[in-house]
Amino acid sequence: MKLTVYEKEDVVKILKNKKIKVTPNRLYIAIKLFNSTDHPSIDELHQNLIKSGKRVSFTSVYNIVKLFKNAGLVQEIMLQNKIRYDANITPHAHFICRKCEKIWDVQIDDNSILNREDLINFKNIVEEKLSGYKVDSVEVNLIGICKDCSNKNSEA
């Protein structure tokens, strides 16, 4: 889990670094998106902004999220039949809970259950067996029951 909280000043800096002109819409969408850990779709992000009283159209949200994606600030992932946006741009896997449908990030690093080498090995195995195919990236989706739901089950 990521604990960094992006304040307004941090977000302004990030956008300026990417030479993205800061507008009020871009700013509040960035603050929402960079602080999200739930991998929202554009629709969910739009609903969320409307609920918090922002008057912004779906198209604006769409264009702004695409702008952030092209600048490498968020990554686009396809999960549960929806295109979702992930502010965690480090390589990581996703654990999808069948019960609460939450999507958890599983970091990929040397201290974690998955490390980069595992994925590179996997990519090499696939390329060896599927000759003529080139793998650009490997996405790992784990589907099951999350810790929260398992705990709830044992309490009942």
Is 100 among the residues that bind Zn ion (CB under 5 A)?
A: yes
CB 108 within 8 A of CB 114: yes
Pick the binder of Zn ion from 86, 87, 108, 119 (CB under 5 A). Answer: 86
Is 10 among the residues that bind Zn ion (CB under 5 A)?
A: no
Pick the binder of Zn ion from 13, 16, 82, 99 (CB under 5 A). Answer: 99
Q: How far is the CB of 116 from Zn ion (least distance, A)?
A: 16
How many CB atoms lie under 10 A from the CB of residue 105?
16
CB 73 within 8 A of CB 22: no
Rounded CA-CA distance 153/156 in Å is 5
Is 97 among the residues that bind Zn ion (CB under 5 A)?
A: yes
DSSP 114: B
Angle at 90 between CA 87 and CA 92, to 5 degrees: 95
Q: How far is the CB of 148 from Zn ion (least distance, A)?
A: 5
Pick the binder of Zn ion from 29, 85, 88, 93 (CB under 5 A). Answer: 88
Cα radius of gyration rounded to whole Å, the chain: 18
Nearest CB to Zn ion, comparing residues 1 and 5: 1
Interacting residues with Zn ion (CB under 5 A): 86, 88, 97, 99-100, 105, 146, 149
